[in-house]
Structures are given as structure tokens and as C-alpha cells.
Amino acid sequence: MLRRLDNLRDELMKFDSRRGIALGAALFAAALLSIRPASAAEQVSRLPLADNNPFPISAAVSVNAGTDLYYLSGAVPPMINKDAPKGSIAAYGDMETQATNSLTAIKGTLERLGLDMGDVIKMTAFLVADPATNKLDFEGFMTGYKKFFGTPEQPNKPARSAVQIAALVAPGALVEIEVVAAKPHKAAANSAKTAK
């Protein structure tokens, strides 16, 4: 490609500066357009887990050129019981409730961007064990997660990491989730116009 551009540049320099500048610019623009990959399909591809594993995540997700990426900050669950002791799990709910509410907050942010949960391509979930039992309720997390991903209404599955950590900044919170979403340029622009 670079050799083609260098050859084209050399040819352009041979033009008379007064008569060839417009034609030269047009030829240069045409050359740039011709080297754009024809395979730049505006799509997101998801690789399922091996051996038809039904676990609701993708093994990998690829994003082709022409796609916008959105990096969302971590979402913690909102307090659901203002009367519960500050910093207690009761203030936020159990793991399933916290996972559901964190993902609902992410869904709201995506909607403000003209996107939806099907556009999520990567997720990192930070999970804390219940301090009373010192056990991580991963099953509760998955119950909340499965409400949003791999469903008949929303079959897309992100690539995902789930990490157990000692604590979150918000005492009593058991979950913080961050995501990356992707949408082809045209589809994102149309969705944003529709959302307004």
C-alpha cells in the first residue's frame, strides 16, 4: 500500500502545478479510498465457548473497523434500604439483588448513549464475599447476570472476567461491574437519534 502511495505521489509531482493540482488532489483522494480494506464490515463478532458450553459468556469478541467503542465506568448497586445500618449488606441487598441493580444501572447508561445490553462486548465483575459467611455467592451473581445476557430477548454474550476481591470502596456493596460496548458507526448514530 505504501509503495502504491509513493508511486502515486511521484506521479502527482510531475503535474504542472497550475493545471494539475485539482486533478492531483482527486487522484490522491481516490487512491486513499481504494486502499481502505474492503472487508471493513461494520460488525461485532462473538466466538462461543468451546464444546458448545452453554455458560452465558463469549470466549472472545472481535470488533471490526467502523465501530465505536464505549467504556463505561464501574457501576455499584444503589442503596435499596435507607433504614438499614450504613455500610451493611442489608442496605444494598443480597448478591443477586446487587448484581441485578448494578446491571440495571449499566443498562440505563447504555440507553442514554443509544445502546442496549446486546452491545456489551466485554465485562469485568468485581465480587466480594459476604463478610458474615466469608463465602462468595457466585450463583447469586449469575442469577442476576442471566437476566441480561444469553436470554431469548437478548442472546448476545460478552467476553467476561469475574474477580473476587477483598472489598469495594462502598462498604456493604458486594458487586461492581464495568463494561465496554461497541456499535457500528451508522447504527450508533441512528440509535442516538431515536433515543432523543
Q: What is the CA radius of gyration of the chain?
A: 24
| Average pLDDT value for residue range 52-69 | 93
The number of residues in the chain equals: 196
* Span 137-171, pLDDT tens digits: 999 999 999 999 999 999 999 999 999 999 999 99
pLDDT at 43: 83
DSSP 130-143: BTTTTB--HHHHHH
Return the CATH superfamily for domain 44-195: RutC-like (3.30.1330.40)
Which residue spans of the chain are classified as CATH 3.30.1330.40?
Answer: 44-195
Question: Grid coordinates representing 30?
Answer: 481516490
Alpha helices in 14-94, H assignment, sequence order: 17-34, 89-92
What is this structure's pTM?
0.74
156 near 193, Cβ under 8 Å?
no
pLDDT at 36 over 50: no
Q: Is the pLDDT of residue 135 over 90?
A: yes
Angle between helices 95-112 and 138-145 (to 10 degrees): 30
Specify the 3-state DSSP secondary structure of 180. Answer: strand
pLDDT (0 to 100) of residue 18: 42
What local confidence, expressed as pLDDT, does residue 57 receive?
Answer: 96
Where do we find the cell 441487598? 93
Question: CA–CA distance from 185 to each of 40, 45, 68, 74, 127 (Å)?
Answer: 12, 15, 6, 24, 33
185 band by pLDDT with thresholds 50, 70 and 90: confident
For the segment 164-191, the average pLDDT, to the nearest whole number, is: 87
Return the top range by mean pLDDT from 1-5, 24-28, 70-74: 70-74
Q: Which residue has the cell 467504556?
A: 71
Name which residue leads in pLDDT, 145 or 66. Answer: 145
